[in-house]
Amino acid sequence: MPSWPAVWMTLVWMTMTSELLAARVARHSDRPEAAVVDATGDITYREFWDRVTCTATALVGTRRIAVLPTSDIGSLVVVVAAMRAGVSVVLLHRHLLADEFADAMAVGKPSVIAAHPRQHGRLHGWGAGHVSAPDDLASGPTETIPTPTPNSELLVGVTSGTTGPPKLFMRNQASWAATLDRSDALFDLGPGDRVSAPGTLDHTHFLYGALHGLTRGATVDVRKAAVALEDDPTHLYSVPTIAWDIARSGVRSTSVREVLSSAARWPQSGRAALATALPNATMTHFYGASELSFVSYDRSESNGTEVNGQLFDGVEVEIRNELLHVRSDMLFDGYLSRVGDRTTLTNGPDENGWMTVGDRGTVEDGRLMLLGRGNETIVRAGLNVELAPIEAALLAVPGVLEAGVVGLPHDRTGEVPAAGVVVAQDDSISVARIRRHLSAVLPGPSLPVVLAVVDSLPHTPRGKLDRQALAATLATVRTVGSPDAPVTTNQTVSDPPS
């Protein structure tokens, strides 16, 4: 039987009047103002909702649709149409490897794969069969589109693939509706406003930002930040990488009132640089996870007022053995997994509604202070990167005897992976050979920015890799030699961060 907290949360939801995502967008369907702007032009709310309705009609009866979105109108039409029809979106991302894509398809079992035509080559390269363009899915309007229920699937996300085999996490309609409620309460956003969501929509932060803007009747601009800023946006969804690029570009925009950021925290110097570029903006940085949604936030007002570690309304936290546990109505349902011959949800919140993703932290005066996820996972440009698979890939290169990987701080991307390797003295190993091997077996975010050959790796008294000592060594690395030269002891090579 469900626990009392689970029953209580269900009863609370049943008494709430919160609309589901597609219904919130539908409220603005008769407006002539622009709903979405992309690199090809714009589309009004009336036109957008007509396309959503036609596409939703074609998806009726489909259980899941896999979407590899880009920053275009069609990607948003397909996503909203699926959510309107109660069809779960399997959200793919461009960093998947072919075997990871195959595994996601085997577990998610989508009936349709949709993407902009320029992504079809990538999908076919992964082994996909037929791929539909968003415009190909449209059908005639109908009055028989079913209304989704709060407990029906909304999104099956695929983790970045940089933490071992990708996991498929599932969130339902009610979870996203609750998250939208928190955004509505915290941010002043509505018709007449303009939301810039400049990152590719396969990143859930930017997809959420675009969808949030549509639910509020704002104009959503999915063009690159440098272009979008020329049209006076009022809100900017960002990650530290994009914020850093804006700060260094020399642009100055007085129209932006809110910067909404996720991923690794940006250094204070970087935030100060962005504040110079966007002098009237309040900056809010979310802490959360795909499984947890919103947990807490830091907020810096343009007048200098700061709030750090503030929990979102309705979020409870507990620290157990330094690990952060979270309970709220925004949590995911579990990981979609194969168990024998069937697919089921596993490792969701416990019977009392609590969940941890392994982050560490403390709670002081009701404020959450994060301590990170240990020293074996880093966040690079908004993506979790686990270090162990990088080490394993390096050790698979003939002639590499030992390998250690650490995260180094980086102003633009938050952190980057850096590697130290010990090689056999009688073997000729070129930098190009190591790079080719890593590029074939690792997703882009996992590729080390720095690769250094050392005499030996530092170890703790217990014999484990001393990552702190290795990080201190790799932090001093500079590029020497030619990229195609044989690797010799104490030679280093670095790649520009991406």
3-class SS of residue 50: helix
Edge-to-edge, what's the strand order for the sheet holding 88-91? 112-115, 64-68, 88-91, 153-158, 168-172, 334-339, 342-346
Beta carbons of 89 and 79 less than 8 angstroms apart = yes
Cα 321 from Cα 360, distance rounded (Å): 9
Query: Residue 74: in which H helix or E strand, if any?
Result: helix 73-85
**pTM of the model as a whole:** 0.82
Whole-number Å distance between alpha carbons of 421 and 490: 10
DSSP state of 314: T
Q: What is the pLDDT of residue 475?
A: 87
**pLDDT for position 142:** 67
The CB density around residue 12, as the number of other CB atoms within 10 Å, is 12
| pLDDT the model gives residue 461 | 56
Kindly list the averaged pLDDT for each block of 10 residues, start to end, along the chain of length 498.
41 56 97 97 97 94 95 98 97 92 94 97 97 89 84 90 73 97 95 97 95 98 96 94 85 95 70 88 91 93 84 96 94 91 90 92 89 74 86 87 89 90 75 86 92 85 75 72 38 41
Residue 432: the pLDDT is: 77
Quote the pLDDT of residue 372: 64
Beta-strand pair 219-221/34-38: parallel
pLDDT for the residue 375: 61
Residues 6+ apart with CB under 8 A from 73: 36, 38, 40, 43, 48, 222
